[in-house]
Amino acid sequence: MKNKTKKLDKYIGKYFGPNKITGWSISTEKTHLEKERLILEYDADKTADYPREVVDYVITDQPIDLSELREKRVMPVVEQLLAILTESELGKDDITYALETKLSESIRLGFLIANEILWGRETAKITLKQADKIIREKHITP
């Protein structure tokens, strides 16, 4: 555990977007794929919980604005989706159908169900992780 702790100390003094990381801890919660999550501590006693892979991908030596942070956060997802699509050897029309129809509809339905359960909460403020957690807790299959 001590070696793992030293590796994670590399985050202190770095930035997650505009926020300077002042501390961290390992979350008891895992990601959807059972991977490690970190709780980052920022100035002004703020904390945030992120998958370690996301933290590793987006931390920087200097602060970045929220647009740059968004770009850094979505690129690993885009790269993974492209890898999966490349491996599947689907044609252009099937890829378009998968992304624009099936994936889009699955995400929309997941947010819709979660929003109905959380009545009154803005859909734009709910993460896919939060939507998935709510659906799983209620044993609902979208």
Looking at residue 40, its pLDDT comes to 93
Evaluate whether 135 touches 114 at the Cβ level (below 8 Å).
yes
CA–CA distance from 31 to each of 53, 112, 127, 132 (Å)? Answer: 10, 21, 13, 11
Average pLDDT over the chain reads 86
Q: What is the pLDDT of residue 141?
A: 66
71 lies in the same domain as 25: yes
With helix as H, strand as E and coil as C, how does 1-64 read?
CHHHHHHHHHHCCCEECCEEEEEEEEEEEECCCCCEEEEEEEHHHCEEEEEHHHHHHHCECCCC
Q: Are residues 123 and 95 in the same domain?
A: yes
Are 96 and 75 in a shared domain?
no
How many domains is the chain built from?
2
Q: Say what the pTM is.
A: 0.68
- Between the two ends of the chain, the Cα-to-Cα distance in Å is 39
| Same domain flag for 75 and 28 | yes
pLDDT at 118 exceeding the cut of 90: no
Q: Domain of residue 140: give its range.
A: 91-142
